[in-house]
Amino acid sequence: MADLVYSPGLEGVVAGETAISTIVGGLEYRGYAVEQLAEHATFEETAYLLLYGELPSPKELGEFRARLEAAQVAEPILQTLRALPSDASMMDVMRTGASMLAHWDPDTADNSRDANLRKAERLLAQLPVILAAAQRLREGKEPVLPQPGLSLAANQLFMLTRVEPSPAWERAMDISLILYAEHEYNASTFTARVICSTLSDLHSAVTGAIGALKGPLHGGANERVLEVLQKVGSSDRAEGWIRNALASKQRIMGFGHRVYKDGDPRAAYLKAWCAKLAAETGHEDMEQMADVIEGIVREEKKLPPNLDWPSARLYHYLNLPVELYTPLFVVSRVAGWSAHVIEQLSNNRLIRPRANYTGPVTRQFVPLAERK
């Protein structure tokens, strides 16, 4: 094994090739800077780009939206959501929902590119319905179906509240979905690629990816971010709290990144939207608190914020329950996961790494009667 190179956590290891996104010099989807997409595109356009490789023409976008509107969640799935424990983790519900959707998808067993594109489109439309229906049921309310003519972002908010969002709220949600949609070979995406490399199906890959995303070291950090802000309470307590926390070596979620050492471009972009929504919703003090904490963490630990730091505040300003923060990540990232599954299968090789063995050296078997 001496000739094998070991890198804990596969850090720095190139495990494959992709034309979907890059994080070299900033984050780009199919060659477009994510800031440009967040500024000018919609989530539907971004999802189309990830799946098909190019931004859609007006005609292609219209047809894409029509296909998304036509995708439905089978009634037995909604009935099953009613039977789930009310205290079940929402990420567990999303994982179960993705798996259940396979049973009613006509293309489940077809691993061709065209079939996987159809399945990916349906998942883009169906997973927001699963999220909203499960949340309303646990609130003792009936599920709300999506409204024709609304964007995916607007429908996500509408299905949760039965209120059509303002243009600013719709755009804020839309941008957050764009920023979370894809991020190269992250843990959940790599999980999806490993699963489909066995020639398993798209729904299995997405279900496994949701399981990977559930972990707090990957997708659950924005929930912890809000806990920190609520614990601090107000901007006048922020400096004392964060300096004490750093002195006692507490880990502050929402800062640092395995790849972005000089700062997460997504966090920088979303910060402006947080300030805009904070002013609109009366949360200016939380924004000031966040600024103080961010400045001191940068100064003391040299750690810039990652996307979870502003997204937690954005979702809070949108009145979204904290247990939905990571499931919303699922709603967005299914576009990237699906694109990676399709890419992996286009030139597939089973992903099967080696391990550095650290167990006992070769031993001789001792019959049971002779063991002491």
Structure tokens at 197: 């490399």
Question: CA-CA distances (angstroms) from residue 95 to 130, 363, 371?
Answer: 10, 42, 46
Name the residue type at position 191. T
* Cβ-contact 254, 312 below 8 angstroms: yes
Left, alpha or beta for 26 (phi > 0: left; psi -120 to 50: alpha)? left
User: CA 94 to CA 131: how far, in whole Å?
Assistant: 7
Catalytic residue list? 257, 308
The CA-based dihedral angle spanning residues 94, 144, 64, 343, taken in that order and rounded to the nearest 10 degrees: 0
User: CA 156 to CA 164: how far, in whole Å?
Assistant: 10
Closest C-alpha among 304, 200, 218, 313 to residue 9: 218
Return the H-helix or E-strand segment holding 98: helix 90-103
